[in-house]
A and B are shown apart, each in its own frame.
Chain A
Amino acid sequence: MKLHGKKIGGFQLILVAVLCLTVLFHGVQAHAAEKEGKYGGVLRIALDAEPGGLDSMLTTATLVWTVSWHMFENLFTFGEKMDVIPMLAEDYAISEGGLRYVVTLRKGVPFHNGKEMTSEDVVASLRRWSEHSSLGKSTFANIESIEAKGPYAVEFLLKKPDAVFLVSLATPGAGAIIVPAEIASEAGERPMRELVGTGPFQFVEWQPNRFIKMKRFDTYAARSEEPNGFGGRKTAYADEIHYSFVPDKTVQSVGVEAGDFDYAYAVDSEEYERLKETPGVRAVVSPPRAWLAFILNTREGVLSDVRIRRAMQAALDMEPILLISRGHPDVWRMDPSLHQKETIWWSDKGKELYNQKNADKAKALLKEAGYTGQPIRWMASYEGYYNAVLVAKSQLEAAGFVIDLNRFEPATEASRRRNSELWDASITGYTMRGDPLLNTFFNSAVPGWWVNEEVEQLKRDLGLETDFDKRYAMVERIQELFYEDAPYIKIGDYATLRLLHERVKNFKNLSDIFFWNVWLEN
C-alpha cells in the first residue's frame, strides 16, 4: 500500500487501525458523556444588573424572568422554533370552535416545598395572573370562566376564539407561572414572599447587592422528551447557581477570563476580536434578540404630522447608527422586518422605505409639511441609545431638522415617556414575542400611541384567525402600514456578545439564557 508515494508496512497499517479505533472509541465515549453530562460544581454567572425582584408574574423585565425561570415553570413553553410545547401541561384539547380549552396536567410534579402540583394550584396561580399581570389581564379579558376539572385538568371557556391563548400561557415575561395555591392567594399584587415553583433549581438565598443563590431541586420531575428550545427534558447538573451583579462590562469579561465567573451575560462587543483569540474563554454572539427603534410621538407635537415622520424615515442612514451604538458588525444587522429572519413571521414588506439615506426626499417632505425648524425634543437613556441618537441627530440636521437631544436616567426617561406633552422622540429596543399580536409596538396604548384603524381591525382579525397563511398576510399588511405611517423607525436587529469559560459545557446559544442541561467540566 502506498501513501503519498511512500510504502506502508503491515505493522504500520495495524497501528493506524488501532489509532482510528481509539479515536472512534473516544469519540463515542465523548458523545456518551455529552449525553449524560457531569453533575456537580457551582455555576457562577455575572449578570449585568440586579433584578428588581424574582416574581416574574408581575413584570415583563427580561432580567427578572431569565433568572426566575430556573425556579418557575408555565403550563406551556416555547420549543426551538418558538412553537408552543407543553411544560407542566401533559396535553390539551380544543373544542366548541375554539371556545373551550381543556388542559390536562402532568401527574406527580412536586413543588419545591414537597407538595404535588394539582389543578387547584393552577387555577389559583392563573387567577393571580389574570388580576396582576399585564399579559394575564389582557388574556383574561376574553376568558368566560376557568375551572378545575378534577385534580389534573383545568377547563377554560373563552368568549371568542383566541389565536394566541396558548402563546400567552407560554410567555415567560409577566408570565403565567404556576406556584402553590396558598402562596398565589397570599401574594396578590405584591411580589411573593416565598419563591416556590416546580423548576429544576430552587431558591436558596438572595443577599441584596451581592448574589442570588439557587440549588438543584433533587426531586424535580423532568419531562421525558429530548430538550427542545426552552422545554423538553431539563436536568440540573450544577449543584448550585450563583448570580452576581456586575454592571461594568469590562469587569464581566475580566471575571470570566480570570476564571472567577463561568458566564457573562453581555460583554462589550468591541472586545469581540480580542476575546476570540483569548485562550480559556469562548465568546459567542447570541441570535438577534431585539431591534433598535426610534419611537415617535404620534399623539401630539411636531411629529404628529405623518409627513415629518416620513421625512425622518427618509433621511436616516442605519449603518453608522448601528456601528456607533452596537459596536462590532457581527452583533447587529440591517433588516427591514419587524420580526427576525429566524422566525416564521419574517417579511420584507416596506423595505423600500427602510434605510433610505435620502436627504433630498426628506427636505422636500419637510417643505411640504411646512416645517420651520421647530425643535424635536428627543430623549435617550442608556449610553448605547444616546450614541445612536447622536448619530441620527447629525444626519437629520443635515436634512433640515432641528433636534433637541436630552439624556435622562432610565427611570426618569420611562416616566417622562408616559406623558405625551413632554417629548417628540425617544429610543428603545423591542424584543420578539411568541406571536406578532403580543408585540408591544402594535399596542396603541403604549407611548408612541400609534392608532391606525386598519391596524386595529387587523389585530382583531389576527386574534380570531388560526390559519397561518392568512395570519401571515395580515402581519405583512401591518408591516406595510408600519412603514407608511412611520410611528416608529426601525434601525436594525441586534444581538449580545456572551462570554463563557471553557469549562462550561452544553450551553445552548438561544435567544434567552438558561442553565439547566449545562454542566461544568472540572
Chain B
Amino acid sequence: MRRYILKRILALLPVMLVVASVVFGIQHMTPGNPAEIILGEEATQEQVRALEEKMGLDRPFIVQLGRWFGHLLQGDLGESIYYQKPVLSIVLGHALPTIQLTLLALTVTIALGLLMGVFAAAFHNTLLDNALMFIASIQLSLPISWIGLVLMLAFSLHYRIFPVSGYVAFSEGPLQSILYLTLPALALGAGAAARLARMTRSSMLEILRSDYIMTARAKGLGEMPVLFKHALKNAAVPILTVIGLSMANMLGGAVVSEQIFGIPGLGKLLIFSVFNRDYPVVQGVVLYIAFIYILINLTIDILYAWIDSRITYG
C-alpha cells in the first residue's frame, strides 16, 4: 500500500509538468498580453514593444518556458504582474475561501444527495421516488449562475437572511463566514447532490435486492438500520466515486459561484488573471488545481481499499 501511494505521488510530477507546459503554451498562443493591457487602448505599437521587452515577453516561447521552469525548480512560481507579489502567496491566499466553499458545498451534496438517494431507493416506484428523482433532474439541469441568483433574490433580498455577496474569513467570524458562504454552497452543491442522489439510488436498489438484506429484515431489524447500516455501507464504492468526482468538479463550479457571490477564491482569481493576462498567476492557479485534483483522486483510491477489503493495491 505504501509503495502504491509513493508511486502515485511520484507520478504526480510528470502530470504537473505536462499541465504546466500545456497551460503555458495556450496562454502564449492567446492574443493579447499584459503589456498591451497595462498600457491601454491608446498606447502606440512602439510603447507596447518597449514594455514587452522590459517584461521579457518579446523572447521566444521556449526561452520564456525554460526560464519559468528554471524558477519553478527553485520553488519560485514567479511574481504577479498586477499584484506585484509572489504568486505562491497569492494562490495560497485565495485557496482558503475556495476550500471553505467546496467543503460546505460538499456537506450540502452529501447530506442532500445521500438522503434523497436512500429514500428514493427505499420507496422505489412510489410517488416519493418519482418526486425526488424529478427534483434531482431539475437540480441537474439548472446552471449554477441561475440557481445562485434565484437563491439570492429569495434569501438575501426578500427574506434578508443571508448577505448578498462578499466573504468573511472563518477566523474573522465563524458565524458570519458561514452566512456568507451558505447560498454559494447551496448553488454549487445542488447539481452534485442530484448526481449523488441518482447514483446512491441505483446502487442502493441493487444492494436492497441482495440476500443479506433479506436476512437482516428477516431477523427483525428495523428499516432504518437496514438502510443506513447494512445497505448504504455496501453501496459506498460507487457513491464515493461520485463524491470524489463532485469535489473535483466543484473546483470548476466554484469559478462561477465565486464570480456571482463575490468570493475571493481561486475561481475569481483565475478569471481576473486570464482577462488581464497575468501569466504567472494563471500558471500558479492551474498548477494548484491540478495538484488538488490528483490528490483527491488518490485519496478516493485509498478510501476504496479502506471501505472494501476486497480491494487491494499491489
Q: How far does the alpha carbon of A440 sit from the alpha carbon of B42 in the complex, in Å? A: 7
User: Is A210 located at the chain interface by the 8 A CB criterion?
Assistant: yes
Contact A412 B94 (CB under 8 A): no
Contact B156 A61 (CB under 8 A): no
B interface residues, how many (CB within 8 angstroms):
47
- Count of A-B contacts judged by CB separation below 8 Å: 117
B9 to chain A, nearest CB (A): 31
Contact B48 A418 (CB under 8 A): yes
Contact B259 A134 (CB under 8 A): no
CB neighbours (8 Å) of A59 from chain B are 38-40
Q: How far does the alpha carbon of A207 sit from the alpha carbon of B32 in the complex, in Å? A: 26
CB neighbours (8 Å) of A53 from chain B are 38, 82
Contact A244 B276 (CB under 8 A): no
User: Is B15 located at the chain interface by the 8 A CB criterion?
Assistant: no
Binds B, one of A33-41, A67-75, A248-256, A362-370: A248-256
A333 to chain B, nearest CB (A): 24
Contact A254 B164 (CB under 8 A): yes
User: Is B84 located at the chain interface by the 8 A CB criterion?
Assistant: yes
Contact B165 A60 (CB under 8 A): no
Contact B83 A208 (CB under 8 A): yes
User: Is A416 located at the chain interface by the 8 A CB criterion?
Assistant: yes
Considering only residues 31-81 of chain B, those with a C-beta below 8 Å from chain A are 31-33, 36-45, 47-48, 51, 54
Contact A251 B94 (CB under 8 A): no
Using CB atoms, name the residue of chain A closest to B162: A258
* Known pairs A191-B84, A209-B272, A411-B32; A246 contacts B160 (CB<8 A): no
- Taken residue by residue from 431 to 443, chain A's Cβ proximity to chain B (1 for < 8 Å, 0 otherwise) reads as 0000000001001
* Known pairs A50-B272, A411-B277, A415-B32; A258 contacts B157 (CB<8 A): yes
Contact B264 A209 (CB under 8 A): yes
Q: How far does the alpha carbon of A257 sit from the alpha carbon of B165 in the complex, in Å? A: 12
* Known pairs A134-B39, A446-B41, A446-B42; A415 contacts B153 (CB<8 A): no
Using CB atoms, name the residue of chain B closest to A261: B164
User: Is B262 located at the chain interface by the 8 A CB criterion?
Assistant: yes
Contact of B40 among A50, A134, A428 (CB under 8 A): A134
Contact A414 B32 (CB under 8 A): yes
- Taken residue by residue from 151 to 164, chain B's Cβ proximity to chain A (1 for < 8 Å, 0 otherwise) reads as 01100110010011
CB neighbours (8 Å) of B163 from chain A are 258, 260
CB neighbours (8 Å) of B47 from chain A are 134, 137
Contact of B149 among A193, A250, A409, A428 (CB under 8 A): A250
User: Is A320 located at the chain interface by the 8 A CB criterion?
Assistant: no
B142 to chain A, nearest CB (A): 16
CB neighbours (8 Å) of B272 from chain A are 50, 208-209
Contact A260 B94 (CB under 8 A): no
B90 to chain A, nearest CB (A): 6
* Known pairs A260-B166, A409-B275, A418-B48; A60 contacts B40 (CB<8 A): yes
CB neighbours (8 Å) of B279 from chain A are none
- Taken residue by residue from 101 to 138, chain B's Cβ proximity to chain A (1 for < 8 Å, 0 otherwise) reads as 00000000000000000000000000000000000000
CB neighbours (8 Å) of A414 from chain B are 32, 36-37, 41
Contact A257 B264 (CB under 8 A): no
CB neighbours (8 Å) of A455 from chain B are none
CB neighbours (8 Å) of B152 from chain A are 250-251, 254
CB neighbours (8 Å) of B36 from chain A are 411, 414-415, 418
Considering only residues 15-33 of chain B, those with a C-beta below 8 Å from chain A are 30-33
Contact of B269 among A209, A244, A445 (CB under 8 A): A209
A interface residues, how many (CB within 8 angstroms):
44
Contact A412 B30 (CB under 8 A): yes
B114 to chain A, nearest CB (A): 31
Contact A251 B260 (CB under 8 A): yes
Q: How far does the alpha carbon of A210 sit from the alpha carbon of B172 in the complex, in Å? A: 14
User: Is A58 located at the chain interface by the 8 A CB criterion?
Assistant: yes
B104 to chain A, nearest CB (A): 18
CB neighbours (8 Å) of B264 from chain A are 207-210
CB neighbours (8 Å) of A415 from chain B are 31-33, 36
Contact A174 B40 (CB under 8 A): yes
Q: How far does the alpha carbon of A59 sit from the alpha carbon of B94 in the complex, in Å? A: 26
Q: How far does the alpha carbon of A50 sit from the alpha carbon of B42 in the complex, in Å? A: 20
Contact A52 B37 (CB under 8 A): yes
Q: How far does the alpha carbon of A428 sit from the alpha carbon of B41 in the complex, in Å? A: 10
* Known pairs A254-B156, A414-B32; A208 contacts B37 (CB<8 A): no
CB neighbours (8 Å) of B157 from chain A are 254, 257-258
Q: How far does the alpha carbon of A190 sit from the alpha carbon of B55 in the complex, in Å? A: 10
* Known pairs A207-B264, A260-B165; A134 contacts B42 (CB<8 A): yes
CB neighbours (8 Å) of B39 from chain A are 58-59, 134
CB neighbours (8 Å) of B265 from chain A are 209
User: Is A189 located at the chain interface by the 8 A CB criterion?
Assistant: yes
Considering only residues 135-153 of chain B, those with a C-beta below 8 Å from chain A are 149, 152-153
Using CB atoms, name the residue of chain A closest to B51: A189
B158 to chain A, nearest CB (A): 9
Q: How far does the alpha carbon of A412 sit from the alpha carbon of B84 in the complex, in Å? A: 23
CB neighbours (8 Å) of B45 from chain A are 418
Considering only residues 155-187 of chain B, those with a C-beta below 8 Å from chain A are 156-157, 160, 163-167
Which residues in A have some Cβ–Cβ distance to B below 8 Å?
50, 52-53, 58-61, 134, 137, 174, 189-191, 193, 207-210, 244-248, 250-251, 254-255, 257-258, 260-261, 409-412, 414-416, 418, 428, 440, 443, 445-446
> Lowest 7 A-B CB distances belong to which pairs?
A411-B32, A415-B32, A210-B264, A209-B264, A415-B31, A255-B164, A260-B164
What are 19 A-B pairs with beta-carbon distances under 8 A? Answer: A52-B37, A52-B82, A59-B40, A189-B54, A210-B167, A210-B264, A246-B165, A246-B262, A248-B259, A254-B164, A258-B157, A260-B164, A410-B275, A412-B31, A415-B31, A415-B32, A415-B36, A418-B36, A418-B48
